[in-house]
């Protein structure tokens, strides 16, 4: 399943990082509590699935979420790290996630 948000097409939101693909892109981590979705984190990686599965802030996500964690990805196969970081920065500004760099 996919959805549009912040001008990008996202795949997800999945309850398991295993559902993300091992491709380059931007990831979003969400907390869903009832009908409320809260952005917890956003980042970029050359391998979204691996980055989210072994993320150093995973414990922080679990502590910040009073509901269920969900993961989504915007895949960017034709962008290098610099281009992905620009998208990450844009989304971080729009979403103001509670974890990670501000």
Upper half-sphere CA count for residue 50 (Cβ side, 13 Å): 6
Helix (H) or strand (E) holding 82: helix 81-95
Task: Identify the band that residue 1 occupies on the pLDDT scale cut at 50, 70 and 90.
Answer: confident
Residue 100, in any domain of the structure: no
Q: Can you give the CATH number for the domain in which 16 is found?
A: 3.40.1440
Query: By residue range, what is the domain housing residue 52?
Result: 2-95
Q: Give the pLDDT confidence score for residue 35 in this predicted structure.
A: 93
pLDDT 10s digits, 27-64: 999 999 999 999 999 999 999 999 999 999 999 999 99
What 57-60 contacts at long range (C-beta under 8 Å, 24+ apart), as own/partner pairs, is: 57/99, 57/100, 60/99
Residue 102 pLDDT > 70, yes or no?
no
Cα 62 from chain centroid? 14
Q: Is residue 33 part of a domain?
A: yes
Q: Is the pLDDT of residue 101 over 80?
A: no
Query: In Å, how far are 68, 76, 80, 97 from 34, measured between CA atoms?
Result: 9, 31, 37, 18
Number of domains in the chain: 1
Answer whether residue 53 is part of any domain.
yes
**Prediction pTM value:** 0.93
- Residue 86 located in a structural domain: yes
């Amino acid at each position: 399943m996919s959805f549009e948000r912040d001008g990008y097409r996202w795949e997800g939101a999945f309850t398991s990082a295993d559902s993300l693909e091992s491709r380059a892109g931007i990831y979003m981590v969400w907390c869903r509590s009832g009908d409320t979705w809260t952005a917890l984190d956003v980042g970029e990686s050359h391998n979204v699935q691996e980055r989210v599965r072994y993320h150093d802030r995973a414990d922080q996500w679990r502590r910040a979420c009073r509901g269920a964690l969900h993961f989504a990805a915007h895949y960017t196969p034709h962008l290098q790290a610099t281009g992905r970081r620009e998208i990450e920065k844009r989304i971080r500004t729009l979403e103001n996630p509670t974890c990670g760099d501000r």
